[in-house]
Structure 1
Amino acid sequence: MSLVSGWTGKTAGALQAALRLSNEAFAQHLGIGVRTVAAWHKKPTLRPQSEMQRILDTALEQAPPAVQARFAKLSYKTSSTPGDRLSADPNITSALDWLDHHAGWQPGTSRREVASRVQRVDPHDLELRGRKRGRVDQQQIARALAEYYGNPSGLYAAGNGVTTSILTRPDWLDLACPLVASNDRLNLTSAARPAVTLDNEAAGQAAQRLAETLALGIRMVDMPIYQLLSTDIHRGELGGTVGVSTFVHYALTMDLLEGEFVDALTTGTTTHPLRDRYLPDLDSILNLSDRLCAGGTLALTAIARPADPYRGPADYVLLVQERSGHVVNAARRLAPIPKGFHQPLTDYRADAQIGATLRREIEEELFGRDDVDNTVGEQRFADPMHPSRLSEPMRWLRSDPSRMRMECTGFGLNLVSGNYEFAGLIVIDDEEFWTLYGGMIEANWEASTLRQYSTLDTDQITHLIQDVAWSNEGLFALLQGLRRLRELGGGRVNLPEIEWETT
């Protein structure tokens, strides 16, 4: 195959992804320091020195054909220009076809429209807009959305002025629902969906989203996602029905609402044409069967640690991520880890369980398995979560059911984009896990940073709760997880008391 003419941090990262190696394993494979690998991820435009270029050349030349094929695909994605992606990226082509169809345009119209808009995108303007959006915090968004919808009852809040945009009700909270087959019972249906028609405003905003995605080099993969059609949720059991939609449908419609709303807050604008179209009132939010209600699950992860002469007594470590700027949605917001869209891998009916998504996200976001990340490559395995394919840490956890428990702690609908949110708690009680595998936990590309907090540090946890950098769904999952962990944690926890209310 033809080798790259000059390595960058991005293409080195593509080789690492093609080899399916962690930072440490990739460094060992090349015979270099792990800090060098980390620097490539932090500085994707960095060009290694000539000696390092030769090391990377040799690694690629000696790689098996399957690895070379994966590298070719991944390196194309990392180095292609907006024009290249517009003409050759199958996911962008899928989005353009979807837009042509649902806007009632002639085939090829959206391609010309997006190409024209890409030429007018100013990266400096986007950077400035991003900074302005970053100054709008979670509490401002929650309060403004409450005002837009007439200060409805049912919004999740806690003490000390903490409010969210999560619409819920008491019987959707403190669910203590084990995520096992007997309790985790969302059912897949193939019922027909309402037709989607975009007016000029909606089609124009969808085209602009694609233009900015291309200009900024953001990943967009047209993967299947579950849409929620009905719910039957109460303590100890998750029920309801889901259908299957596509990420492109979501990205070009409902996912535009948050950006529009935050931009209005930064400029003082009082008009929200897309929100007025898609989610104008509470009835439209609650009427799941007549709209696209995508969403997912996110869980507070608590891992038992043994006593340490430097750190102190035995505790749980809590993991919190800051979402990367490379994700299409919720960039730069705090969230528990793991967090993911509820979507199928290969078994659409079995994967409808919320626990199936959480198990997959643990493998992907904590244990570094990119072969279950369908934003990286096509899924070719019949059973990606087969015991023989599990990572070493997950295999250790699954070998004894008592080593890890997963629960759903709450459910709600997010006023930001109408998403459904299943909040969860993952508890690893066997402290041997941290001793064996704590050093192998590494967030994937969706996180820019990973922070840890001790469940014995009440002050730090209190400050964490009050951090306005949270996403609304992230704060919801954090608070519900802390409530449940306070009940379960015994002497390993000294958590603040959290009392929820639905205002």
Structure 2
Amino acid sequence: MALNEPWTGRTACALQSALRLSNEAFAEHLGIAPRTVAAWHQKPDLKPRSEMQQLLDTAHARADEAAQSRFTALTTTTLDLPEGAATDAELRLTTDPTITAALDWLDQHAVWEPGTARREVAARLAHLDVPALHDRGARRSRVDQHATARALADYYGATPDHGRYTARFGTTTASTTILTRPEWLDLDCPLTATHDRLKLTAVTPVQPPTMDQETAGRAAQRLAEVLALGNRMVNMPLFRLLDVDVSEPAIGGTLGVTSFVEYAVTVDLLEAELSDALTTGTPTPLRDTYLPDLPAVLNVADRLCAGGALALTAIARPADPFRGPADYLLLIQERSGHVINAARRLAVIPKGFHQPLTDFRADARIGATLRRELEEELFGRADIDNTVGEQRHADPMHPSRLSEPMRWLLLTPDRLRVECTGFGLNLVSGNFEFASLVVIDDEGFWTRYGGEVQANWESASLRRYSSRDGDLLQELASDAAWSNEGLFALLQGLRRLREIGGERVDVPPIEWETQ
């Protein structure tokens, strides 16, 4: 943008992005109403009134050198599109704060001049064949869990102290990519303060090593594809595992903090790379760089190890003249194609990244993530979904803000049982996985709130199973559409539920081993 050109909604939003301000903060910076900033986002070709032009001139002139450089890069990068054919992808490239953060991160860690990442992503975006990306997504979705487990078993081999989680469930044998050990399984660990002991040691992210041209190019390609496909991606802090100390009946260890954009353009690329290798025979240079062997997988202190918590949810139901005896309802989700992690795979629900909301130290506990994910993924709390909007509440999980189902569950301590059933490191991307079990034993919950249980946008669909239907659950466990971490949580959850569920549970024994 030449300085003598009039401002438009698009260039005003570019200045906002260069200053790294939210809509509200940018409005306050200019002394205008937030709805005016929102209108610029909605109408990028709009030319603000003369007084607004002057305010924007002043804000640009007073910006520091770094912000002005970012603004120049934002306004000089254009896509090879027909005139007047600006797309949502183009708009996001210039105004989306997460994309801006990812581009800045990439410039810094690839040792590129400011603006290089934006030009690189723009060039790739202009030449993407979106139908071909959808076709590739369909091919990736056909890479089954069994093939993934076999491929990574061949890649990594064995180690004396750890092995891949494998379980025999009746007539079904399931092998996963979860690297674990006997001391990390059958934890039966209540996720209360006494037993849930993960601690935060550092908030400042550790600087990763410099990227080479191969890894930087793959990162730029990922960002271009996110824009082209319209995937949701929001920069947010994530916990990273620095050390782990897991033994019955407690989980401990230390956590640091990283950013979602760092995860998204580095180790999160390994799953897609593996799927492409299995469908087209392409090499795996990113895996060879980030997770080349088992010592690298286990050395969580010196690599990016993000991850999360996921739980099999079991809700007590009374006997029914049509369904039969009292049981537990078990919920399984098919993940949406719009999620970054485990897209189009089967998983237990809830499933979420381990991340802080507002209290980094208190949120370090695994139980905090699971309670939040229950609220978000099953009880309709969109206001704690940071992919939808910004979080401004001092305590998003304050009792006064809880959903009615969650408030009812917490009213009496024994209504909600949340336990960690196992821990492992996922060879797919190196993520840590805390498999857990959520049990609601009070039959009154389903009677009162069963109609309000609904998955959020992260799920394409929900499936219901009965804890008394052992045959169908065995068939479910053999489904090749599972994510590896989801299958791990399902089997460990069923194993524990069989111990504590009494007559509500009628499933064959589940025996695990570490291969």
Calculate the TM-score normalised by the size of structure 1.
0.84
Equivalent residues in 2 for 1:50-449, closer than 5 Å: 81-152=88-159, 154-159=163-168, 160-190=172-202, 193-269=206-282, 271-449=283-461
C-alpha displacement at 1:80, in angstroms? 6.2
Deviation digits for residues 285-317 of structure 1 (CA, Å, limit 9, x no counterpart): 111111000000000000000111111111100
C-alpha displacement at 1:128, in angstroms? 1.4
Rate the CA distance shift 1:76–1:395 in 2: closer, same or farther, 3 A: farther
Structure 1 Cα separation of the partners of residues 246 and 235 of structure 2: 29
> Quick one: which amino acid aligns to residue 96 of structure 1?
L
C-alpha displacement at 1:70, in angstroms? 12
Unmatched segments (≥5 aa) in structure 2: 1-32, 45-85
Calculate the TM-score normalised by the size of structure 2.
0.82
C-alpha displacement at 1:73, in angstroms? 10
Rate the CA distance shift 1:418–1:312 in 2: closer, same or farther, 3 A: same
- Does the aligned pair in 1 maintain the 2:205–2:256 contact within 8 Å? no
The number of equivalent residue pairs is: 436
> Quick one: which amino acid aligns to residue 163 of structure 2?
G
Structure 1 Cα separation of the partners of residues 189 and 200 of structure 2: 20
Deviation digits for residues 145-184 of structure 1 (CA, Å, limit 9, x no counterpart): 0100124451100123310000000000000000001110
Say which SS state the counterpart of residue 511 (structure 2) adopts.
coil
> Quick one: which amino acid aligns to residue 402 of structure 1?
D
Identity %: 67
C-alpha displacement at 1:195, in angstroms? 3.2
Rate the CA distance shift 1:243–1:74 in 2: closer, same or farther, 3 A: farther
Structure 1 Cα separation of the partners of residues 129 and 188 of structure 2: 48
Rate the CA distance shift 1:236–1:218 in 2: closer, same or farther, 3 A: same
> Quick one: which amino acid aligns to residue 93 of structure 2?
L
Rate the CA distance shift 1:119–1:145 in 2: closer, same or farther, 3 A: same
Structure 2 Cα separation of the partners of residues 124 and 322 of structure 1: 23
C-alpha displacement at 1:267, in angstroms? 1.1
- Does the aligned pair in 2 maintain the 1:297–1:358 contact within 8 Å? yes
Where does structure 1 differ by over 4 angstroms across 4 or more consecutive aligned residues?
66-77
2:488 to 471, 476, 487: 476
> Quick one: which amino acid aligns to residue 156 of structure 1?
Y
Deviation digits for residues 371-423 of structure 1 (CA, Å, limit 9, x no counterpart): 11111111100000000000000000000010010000000000000000000
Q: Larger radius of gyration, structure 1 or 2?
A: 2
Equivalent position of 2:4 in the other structure: none
- Does the aligned pair in 2 maintain the 1:298–1:337 contact within 8 Å? yes
C-alpha displacement at 1:127, in angstroms? 1.4
Structure 2 Cα separation of the partners of residues 76 and 321 of structure 1: 37
Say which SS state the counterpart of residue 161 (structure 1) adopts.
strand
Equivalent position of 1:5 in the other structure: none
Say which SS state the counterpart of residue 330 (structure 2) adopts.
strand
Equivalent residues in 2 for 1:31-46, closer than 5 Å: none
- Does the aligned pair in 2 maintain the 1:193–1:290 contact within 8 Å? no
Say which SS state the counterpart of residue 224 (structure 2) adopts.
helix
Say which SS state the counterpart of residue 254 (structure 1) adopts.
coil
C-alpha displacement at 1:242, in angstroms? 0.1
Say which SS state the counterpart of residue 499 (structure 1) adopts.
strand
Say which SS state the counterpart of residue 460 (structure 2) adopts.
strand
Structure 1 Cα separation of the partners of residues 36 and 473 of structure 2: 46
- Does the aligned pair in 2 maintain the 1:74–1:376 contact within 8 Å? no
- Does the aligned pair in 1 maintain the 2:124–2:221 contact within 8 Å? yes
Instruction: Determine whether 1:486 maps to 2:498.
Output: yes
- Does the aligned pair in 1 maintain the 2:205–2:257 contact within 8 Å? no
C-alpha displacement at 1:69, in angstroms? 9.8
- Does the aligned pair in 2 maintain the 1:103–1:198 contact within 8 Å? yes
Structure 1 Cα separation of the partners of residues 477 and 212 of structure 2: 41
